[in-house]
Structure 1
């Protein structure tokens, strides 16, 4: 089956997609109000999308990350954040929580992760970040299920 013959969820049920987009916007606003800076928000959304295998959302959030000032080195270090020294303690806590949300089916957010993250982020930040992670995971599933294309840029293959 070609990608052209697949059902495109956002076009086939625009009201549902618009509701998801509105939810995402609300989650983003909640994150900003809680003190989650745009850099950290984009880092975790890239990482979730990488872990879920969503090339489309990786592209979207890398573009947004560049706009908020992330450089190529920082973006390249996201998959190896545990070994990298470029992330703050807050970002590392957020990345650890992000992985728990990707693998939520594997025992949820463990007590160890919850305690570690809770020792770094305030409850309001934890809650806001959690909603942001729910949102990006949902978008990943829509894009992956629909096989949203990611074309090469500038003629690169």
Structure 2
């Protein structure tokens, strides 16, 4: 699929997203702690479907922002139904969804978060934690999830 460049250009930069976010302090903290390794050069643009309320997005947005810089644009999934439908996974409209694009705005890969390691943690932890305790335990593992995201992206973008 080829994305219209004007659609990508209409998205929010990370600083634009921060300006609208109710979770700005958390996003800035995670940004400071994110790995600094940039995305491969073949990735010219990234379209990110996110929501501010989503704990998975709260972690993934800063990791992507640090890795992609100005190559990333953020779109609120629920305010962009055309993108939500175009990039759904079957019948699911997952956040975060990252679409990695080449210089011609052709799709290279798509990533649906959270990383598998975080999913496994959540499945196990929900049996013993709930509410605020679960969220705190999840966010406390941010460095592990950030690294897992980067590893999953690398596998998608550099297949064997």
TM > 0.5 fold call: no
Write 1 or 2 for the structure with the bigger share of helix.
1
The alignment's TM-score, normalised by the length of structure 2, stands at 0.30
Higher radius of gyration, 1 or 2? 1
The alignment's TM-score, normalised by the length of structure 1, stands at 0.30
Instruction: Give the structure, 1 or 2, with the largest relative contact order (CA under 8 Å, sep 6 or more).
Output: 1
